[in-house]
Amino acid sequence: MANQTTETVRLMIDGISISVPKGTLVIEAARQAGVMIPHFCYHPKLKPDANCRMCLVEIERVRKLQTSCSTVATEGMAVRTATTVVNDAHKSVLEFILANHPLDCPVCDQGGRCDLQDFSHQYTATSRFAETKRIFQKEYFSPLIETQMNRCVQCLRCVRYCDEVMDVKALAPIGRGTMTEIKSFGNHPLDCEFCGGCVQICPVGAITSRLSMYEYRPWMLKRADTICTFCGDGCQITVQTKDQELIEVNSAHSGGRNNGDLCARGYFGFHAASHPDRVTHPLIRRNGTLVEATWEEALLFVAEQTNRIKQAHGPQAFGGLISGRCTNEELYLFQKFMRLTIGTNNLDSSARYGHVNGVQAMRRVQGTHRWTVTFEDIVQADVLLLVGTNITEANPITGLKVKEAVKKQEATLLTIEALQPAVGTISNITNLSKQHLCVAPSQFGAAVLGLLKAVIEGDHVDPGIRQRASDYVSALSHAVRQIAWEDLAVSTGISSDSFAQMAASVVRGRRVVVLAGQILLRSQGGYGMCLNLLDLLLLSGKLTSPGCGFAPLAEENNDQGAVEMGAVAELLPGALDLTDQDSRDRMARAWKEELPLVPGGTLIEMVDRASAGIIKSLFVVGENPVGSLPSQIRAKEALSKLDLLVCQELFLTETAALAHVVLPAASAMEKAGTFTNTEGHAQAVRPAIDPVGDSRPDWEILSAFSVFLGAPLEYGEAKEILKEIRSVIPGYGSLGPSPIAPTADPSAIDRYVTEGYRHDVAIRYTLPPRAVRQEGTVQLGLVQSLFHSGKFSTHSKGLLQIEPSAFLQMNPVDAARFALGSGDRVRLSNNRGQFITTVKVLERVPEGLAWLPDHFAQEALRLFDCVIDPDTKVPSFRTATVSVLKAT
Amino acid sequence: MTFKAWIRTITFYELVVGMKATMSHLLHYKPITMQYPHEKRALPDNYRGMLSLLRYDDGTEKCVGCDLCEAACPSRVIRVVSAEVPGEPTKRYSKEYYMDMTRCLFCGLCVDACPVDALGMTREYEWSVYDKRQLHLNKEQLLAIGDRSFPVREKQLELQHPNVAFFNVAFKHLPQKPD
């Protein structure tokens, strides 16, 4: 709240004198004074509406009762909330509400935590109305959200939340007076973002979750505050369980980084952990099939095989892969296990799929491995530039921060997205943007270069940087001069004027935040684009200013943690360089053991080495290279050649199906630890249920391996590992409600602008190759769906009800061109193979592109070409050109 | 020791006083023990015996699965698993209902708590068993107890509207929503 006035006013509430910032509402002031004023329609997140009349209070020298939720506190105000007049008013309001409210509390899921119930008890309100109660026709709202409009008190919190916070506008009040009911627009079931916000915000039982309907009563539930395991936003969720059964997920207002807001994945996706297909017993391959075994047998088998391979081929015959969904403790222990117990640097995590691009760019330019901004800076930014984020679907809660910045703080939103502004079932961030450039994902690089060219040629370069690093500025000026506006216009379809306008907006901003999403990070040349965006901030003098920064968004919940824990080949814990002697010495001192010298192989290199027979054994923790990498990489063939493949998994994935030993791992609902979210905030994960079956947390399994291999890394609980992490990386762990963002390191920037930028400037400042689009083809992009995250969420029964399978999403113009409609079967083919799927026509998909969510599309992966970044070794396989044919 | 006390001691006077009732019953014999299995006592009207689940006159279960009996029970006798009635969406019922009668102290709080009078305390008390597990009763057993103990069933209130819960049927005419 730095930008708000610090002026305060003093007022009296029920005789308690309190001083609050100017502009505070009386109801908020009363809350601060410890006086609870009953209310239905008021919610701190929403604008005051004052429609329920429940919060009436008496204010001295004001003739009538006032609604405290819409009255601003003024100096010297004297408020009384418990006088007879006020009590009578509250009673009458309750009486009117109870005139229509059915007395079905015993069967209502809200019964026990219902505001109306509580106030009725408080005021012993009864209704003298003998008239019939209103009854609404029962209409099915959605498979996940249940409405019982008879219970509605018409506070319109849900409608206002859907509009003001989510920007979805899926709900509307229909009808007048007492006959007002909440409905979706149009005569169809609710089709929205399914964020669950209306369920959470409803003060009564009018809107409830159908997923756990009638399975519980609120007093039976046990709560555990933990962190959502889907995207990188790191939302705090409260998992509610009843007898080891996952019942419901909530998020408390003002709790966590998400401030109580969730998305469909967080709110309805929790059942993934309790899916019946979970691996519950260790499995060992005997005579070609996986059979159940005991933990002792499995561990002994792994230890024997590992010792045999190590003696025959040395430590470099091993490799390790870990998922970015594991906790920091597990990631740390995994890399320690690989580096010390096994003795190799061949290890990688799923951060390699894209997040490494952003982190390495930040390390190179500004010397940090984290954002220099926080979510609060996004909310307070005055210019936000989004590049390739599709933020609503990929990082919905960061998206909410952007929406808040635009809608409440009036920030200027600039977007470079492969997204068309359109009114749709889910909110579209480009609808809010002041200037939107719609660019195909393969041409994001060109659009970034256009912006840089506009900054340099529009003479917007910061005089400070021009003076300090004239060589750097002139080298970049020279580089952008090589690119003609005409070529840029052909590549991106955007004129130089638009670029100039956007550049001017960026430069004008005082607090500029650039958000780069997974579409950019995972596309070809993602590393170069990140560097170019950082160049943009440097040239406009924003990189080091407070509130400004570059923010690459993580896809998996702990991608950032994976990098910081050193679970990638080239980095040690704390994102220290493996090749740096000082860092190596520091780690060796901490671990009291020398680190392996041979540089490690990354994900693709390990697969290559496995197929070449150099790597004989692979430890895979929660990762699924066979299912995630395109067929061109031949991961399946490579992994089948291994002498020992050990998988620690929740489900029998494509990779686990090839394994020699599959060990049941506990999901994040069943273990303790920490997750680091995309902004670099480490937050505590707490177990909500006991491990399913015989499964154990991954760190326990790794610890057991090390004991069986004779080099024990023993820990009693996850906290002990965190303690060790803290000793290696000072101050790591949960540190209060919000992160303290690092500042850009001036010496790193100096290094970059004097020498660091030189070696690849020519490569980065060339336009990406332009694909000539042929008739009958579209550019297919693998995208992230709002309703899924990775493959994990496809085990969640709630999310499967919203999105049961992958659809090819297409623009109506393209669909018409191919004579396709929603629901038609379509055959996608190119020279690499073909894939049949179903079409869904969506206006937000730009013309010439088609989207395929990558959560189900195993076979579709064969259509994609894989390009490996020469610097960061990130495999990118997100776009392909395919011809489209209607299948019969 | 006085002479009076001495006389009492040597005549075992205390014993005579103590045995007075016994002696008089020995002479005027009138048995008060009931020959239990053959004759039974008249129970008071508010006798709290074995618990049971009740039905309406049309045979439908009264229980709506609200779990309030479970919440009211001081000794955790009751376990309710509630769910939606199959085929009748949004209608709640108890899919499973268990009572562990070994723990029950017959306080009747569950009967008080029930919003639909689905629980009844019968006059049955002959529930000695050889195996304690037989006192762990499920829904069918409890309904059977109710069936035999309460032959006169309450009339099922007519549901005027499929979208009205049982609890708000205190009116006759329902506003018809215009199409």
Residue type at position B77: V
CA–CA separation, A354 vs A526, rounded Å? 8
What phi and psi values does residue A825 have, to the nearest 5 degrees?
A: -85, 145
Query: Residue B117's domain is classified under what CATH number?
Result: 3.30.70.3270
The pairing of beta strand A807-810 with beta strand A833-841: parallel
Q: For residue B159, give how far its alpha carbon lies from the nearest alpha carbon of chain A (Å).
A: 13
Residue B178 confidence (pLDDT) above 50? no
**What is the Cα–Cα distance from A324 to A351, expressed in whole angstroms?**
6
* Both tokens assigned to A20: 């609050």
- The tens digit of pLDDT for each residue in B65-119 reads 999 999 999 999 999 999 988 877 778 899 999 999 999 999 999 999 998 889 9
Q: What is the mean pLDDT of residues A29-53?
A: 94
> What's the rounded mean pLDDT across residues B137-142?
96
| Facing B64 at nearest CB: one of A103, A107, A220 | A107
Which of these, A455, A439, A456, A453, lies nearest to A386 by C-alpha position? A439
Clarify whether residues A804 and A881 are in a common domain: yes
Number of structural domains, chain A?
4
pTM of the model: 0.92
Contact B65 A107 (CB under 8 A): yes
Tokens 């949004």, residue located: B90
Q: Report the alpha-carbon distance of residue B60 to residue A172 in Å, rounded.
A: 38
pLDDT of residue A125: 66
Per-position DSSP letters for A35-63, written without gaps between them: -PPP-SS--TTS-----S-TTEEEETT-S
Residue A512 pairs with which residues in a beta bridge? A383
pLDDT in tens, A90-103: 999 999 998 888 88
Any domain includes A238: no
From the list A107, A132, A219, which residue is nearest B66 (CB)?
A: A107
Q: What is the enclosing helix (H) or strand (E) of A182? A: strand A181-184
How many Å is the Cα radius of gyration of chain A?
A: 29
Say how many CB pairs under 8 Å bridge A and B. Answer: 65
Q: What is the pLDDT of residue B161?
A: 54
Token pair, residue A556, equals 């998996």
| Structure confidence by residue, pLDDT tens digits, A551-589 | 999 999 999 999 999 999 999 999 999 999 999 999 999
Q: Classify strands A512-516 and A549-552 as parallel, antiparallel or unpaired.
A: parallel
**Phi/psi of residue A486, nearest 5 degrees:** -65, -45
Same-domain check for residues A602 and A475: no
Rounded distance between C-alpha atoms, residue A647 and residue A188, angstroms:
45
Residue of B nearest to A212 (CA): B83
The residue-averaged pLDDT of A322-335 equals 96
Angle between helices A328-336 and A698-708 (to 10 degrees): 20
Other CB atoms closer than 10 Å to residue B140's CB: what's the count? 10
Question: Please, where are the H alpha helices in A738-845?
Answer: 746-751, 761-764, 797-802, 812-817
Contact (CB, 8 A) for A199 and A208: yes
Q: What is the largest CA-CA distance in chain A?
A: 92
Segment A352-362 mean pLDDT: 95
| A132 contact residues in B (CB cutoff 8 A) | 171-175
Same-domain status, A439 and A323: no
Same domain? For A543 and A421 the reply is yes
pLDDT tier for residue B158 given thresholds of 50, 70 and 90: low
Alpha-carbon distance of A234 to A556, in angstroms, equals 9
The arithmetic mean of pLDDT across residues A432-437, rounded, is 95
CA distances from A446 to A60, A319, A484, A759 (A): 64, 37, 11, 20
Cα distance between residue A207 and residue A199, in whole Å: 5
What angle is formed at CA A179 by the lines to CA A174 and CA A182, rounded to 5 degrees?
Answer: 40
Higher-confidence residue of A614 and B161: namely A614
Q: Is residue A528 part of a domain?
A: yes
Residue that is last in its domain, among A707, A731, A748: A707
The DSSP code for A758 is G
Q: For all residues of chain B together, what is the average pLDDT?
A: 85
Within a domain: residue B172? no
Phi and psi torsions of B121, nearest 5°: -100, 120
Q: Is the pLDDT of residue A666 over 50?
A: yes
3-state SS record for A260-315: CCCCHHHHHCHHHHHCCCCCCCCEEEECCEEEECCHHHHHHHHHHHHHHHHHHHCH
Helix/strand/coil for A415: strand
Identify whether residues A809 and A678 lie together within a single domain.
Answer: no
A576 and A692 in a single domain? The answer is yes
Is residue A849 situated within a structural domain? yes
**A606 and A537 in a common domain:** no
Quick check: is B179 in a domain?
A: no
Instruction: Say yes or no: A874 and A836 in one domain.
Output: yes
Q: How confident is the model at residue B170 (pLDDT cuts 50, 70, 90)?
A: very low
pLDDT value of residue A772 = 76
Positive or negative torsion for Cα A783, A348, A346, A628: negative
Flag whether A142 is in a domain: no
- Cross-chain Cβ contact A106/B90 below 8 Å: no
Question: Residue A665: inside a domain, yes or no?
Answer: yes
Distance from CA of B33 to the nearest CA of A (A): 47
Establish if A231 belongs to a structural domain.
Answer: no
Check residue B57 and give its pLDDT.
86
Tell me which residue of A752, A760, A766, A749 sits closest to A452, measured CA to CA.
A766
From A692, A707, A722, give the residue that closes a domain.
A707
Contact present, A354 and A555 (Cβ < 8 Å): yes
The answer on pLDDT for A781 being more than 80 is yes
Within-domain flag for B38:
no
B157 touches chain A (CB under 8 A): no
- What is the C-alpha to C-alpha distance for residues B19 and A565, in angstroms, rounded to an integer? 89
Could you tell me if A588 and A532 lie in one domain? no
pLDDT in tens, A451-484: 999 999 999 999 999 999 999 999 999 999 999 9
The CA angle B70-B75-B78, to the nearest 5 degrees, is 35
Chain A residues lying within 8 Å of B171, measured CB to CB: 131-133
Q: Is the pLDDT of residue A814 over 80?
A: yes
Residue matched to tokens 């979750």: A209
Strand (E) positions, B49-178?
51-53, 78-85, 88-100, 119-121, 136-137
| Nearest in space to A323 (alpha carbons), one of A714, A706, A698 | A698
pLDDT tens-digit profile of A202-243? Answer: 999 999 998 888 999 999 999 999 999 999 999 999 999 999
Question: CA A610 to CA A633: how far, in whole Å?
Answer: 11
Decide if pLDDT at A3 tops 80.
Answer: no
How far apart CA A118 and CA A214 sit, in angstroms, is: 20
Tell me, yes or no, whether A170 lies in a domain.
no
B156 near A CB under 8 A = no
Single-letter amino acid code for the residue at A626: V
pLDDT tens-digit readout, A612-652:
999 999 999 999 999 999 988 899 999 999 999 999 999 99
Alpha helices in A683-717 (DSSP H): 698-708
Considering the domain boundaries, does residue A663 fall inside one? yes
Residue B116: inside a domain: yes
Residue A763 has a pLDDT of: 92
Question: What single letter denotes the amino acid at residue A793?
Answer: S
Whole domain around residue B66: which residue ranges? Answer: 51-165
Which CATH number is A603's domain given? 3.40.50.740
Chain B neighbors of A131, CB-CB under 8 A: 171
Query: Which residue range is the domain that position A504 belongs to?
Result: 355-554
Say what the pLDDT of residue B164 is. 55
Q: Can you give A170-208 as a three-state secondary structure string?
A: CEEEECCHHHCEEEECCCCCCCCCCCCHHHHHCCCCCEE
Please report, for the domain that includes residue A454, its CATH number: 3.40.228.10
Structural domain count of chain B? 1
Per-residue model confidence as pLDDT tens digits over A171-204: 999 999 889 999 888 777 888 999 999 999 999 9
The answer to whether residue B68 is domain-embedded is yes
Task: Give me the mean pLDDT over the A840-850 stretch.
Answer: 93
Q: Is A619 exposed, middle or buried (0-12, 13-18, 19+ CB in 10 A)?
A: buried
Torsion A778-A784-A787-A790 (CA) sign? positive
Nearest CA in chain B to A220: B71
* Cα torsion through A272, A276, A281, A286, rounded to 10: -110
Q: Does B71 touch chain A (CB under 8 A)?
A: yes
Residue A317, pLDDT > 60, answer: yes
Q: What is the per-residue burial (b if ≥16 Cβ within 10 Å, else e) of A310-328?
A: beebebbbbbbbbbbbbbb
Average pLDDT over residues A682-704: 95
Residue B80 at interface with chain A, using a CB cutoff of 8 Å? no
Query: Same domain for A337 and A372?
Result: no
Residue A131 at interface with chain B, using a CB cutoff of 8 Å: yes
The reported pLDDT for the residue numbered A362 is: 96
pLDDT in the model for residue B175: 39
H/E stretch holding A810 reads strand A807-810
To the nearest whole number, what is the mean pLDDT of chain A?
A: 92
d(CA A382, CA A509): 6
How many CA atoms lie within 13 Å of A23's alpha carbon, on the beta-carbon side? 6
Predicted confidence (pLDDT) per residue in A111-121, tens digit: 999 999 999 99
Q: Are strands A644-649 and A617-621 parallel, antiparallel or unpaired?
A: parallel
Q: Residue A778: which of A860, A867, A826, A847 has the closest Cα?
A: A847
User: In this structure, what token pair is assigned to residue B79?
Assistant: 């376990």
- Check whether B31 has a pLDDT greater than 90: no
Structure tokens belonging to residue A407? 């809608």
pLDDT at B1: 75
Distance of alpha carbon B62 from the chain centroid: 16
pLDDT at B174: 36
pLDDT bucket at A435, cuts 50 / 70 / 90: very high
Same domain, A402 and A549: yes
Looking at residue A734, its pLDDT comes to 67
The reply to whether residue B71 touches residue A219, judged by beta carbons under 8 angstroms, is: yes
Is the predicted pLDDT of residue B163 greater than 70, yes or no?
no
Indicate if the pLDDT at residue A529 is higher than 90: yes
Separation between Cα atoms, residue A545 and residue A680, nearest integer Å: 19
**CB atoms A135 and B175 under 8 Å:** yes
Tell me which residue of A483, A497, A518, A528 sits closest to A435, measured CA to CA. Answer: A497
Least confidently predicted of A3-7, A622-626, B43-47? A3-7
Query: What's the pLDDT score for residue B173?
Result: 38
Nearest one of A2, A50, A7 to A26, comparing CA atoms = A50
The ipTM assigned to this model is 0.83
B116 touches A: beta carbon within 8 Å = yes
My answer on whether A788 and A877 are in the same domain is: yes
A589 touches chain B (CB under 8 A): no
Radius of gyration of chain B (CA): 27
Q: Does A242 touch chain B (CB under 8 A)?
A: no
Torsion (CA) A717, A665, A587, A746 in degrees, nearest 10: -100
Domain's final residue, options A537, A554, A571: A554
